Amino acid sequence: MTELPARRLLLVHAHPDDESINNGATMARYAAEGAHVTLVTCTLGERGEVIPPELRHLTGAALGEHRLRELTAAMAELGVEDVRLLGGAGRYGDSGMMGLADNDDPDCFWRADVDTAAATLAEVILEIRPQVVVAYDDHGGYGHPDHIQAHRVALRAVEHAARAGWTVPKVYYNRVPRSVAEAAFARLREELPALPFPKSAAVSDVPGVVDDASITTEIDGTAYAAAKAAAMRAHATQIDVAPGERAFALSNELAQPLFTTEYYQLVQGEPAPDDGRNRESDLFAGTGEVA
């Protein structure tokens, strides 16, 4: 295998589009800076609701194949070349929203054996040897079964990898500080008449919002705002990005802010020494560039 760059970041997501919404600016920034960025997506999102009327005929496997093409296009916008489907394309199916009969499908990700899926992910960790892994919290950010399962699998895979010889120095959760979300929604409500969406979502609709004190790391991705918006726009079945790249909506047509500074909570590993800013500005801070 070709020798990898000194800095290596691995992100674990449930469906195509989650990565661009949550981490698009972060991924674009680190890819541009020469880090090796690996995305592992756990399902193809075969049960997602489709926004454009001309694509609503897509369901099941056909939708999954289409969303995989969208994912490929989105990663090209972010400069990310290492994209993996956990266990291979179609290995784990989309589980649908919590409480639906879809959750009982034996082939869906929610029903997957956690250790088996984690062992597969651990193989990727042992291959890449990332200093940083980014995952969801134990609620999956907003309670979707695939997000919760992605959390379980990611953290279990980190444990498997440690026993097999690679201890990931830092593990982060995707987060949004409450004060930032509240301020962004206040601006959004003022701008709503100029947006192509009828109503605004609420802070509670944003996954991973927590009190500001929980935030350990703030990644300034404003230089990569256009790349993040382009990646989100590539997921056309799932996301409608407004002109100006400041807002977007999902299938509910409720406007949300498009964040280009992205936030994280360090949950495993040691924070970088305090440089007076109280928050890390680099996910790799303090890890060294381990070969």
Q: Which amino acid type is present at position 63?
A: L
Phi then psi for residue 238, to 5 deg, are -115, -25
C-alpha to C-alpha distance for 217 and 180, rounded to whole angstroms: 14
Q: Is 139 labeled as ligand-binding?
A: no
In sign, the C-alpha dihedral spanning 162, 14, 95, 77 is: negative
Bridge-partner residues for 263, per DSSP?
175, 218
Helices of type H across the chain: 18-32, 60-78, 114-128, 145-164, 178-191, 225-234
Q: Is 82 labeled as ligand-binding?
A: no
C-alpha to C-alpha distance for 89 and 22, rounded to whole angstroms: 22
Q: Is 205 labeled as ligand-binding?
A: no
DSSP conformational letter for 200: E
C-alpha to C-alpha distance for 22 and 42, rounded to whole angstroms: 15
How many residues are recorded in the chain?
291
- Please give the annotated binding residues for Zn(2+), written as ranges: 15, 18, 147
- Please give the annotated binding residues, written as ranges: 15, 18, 147
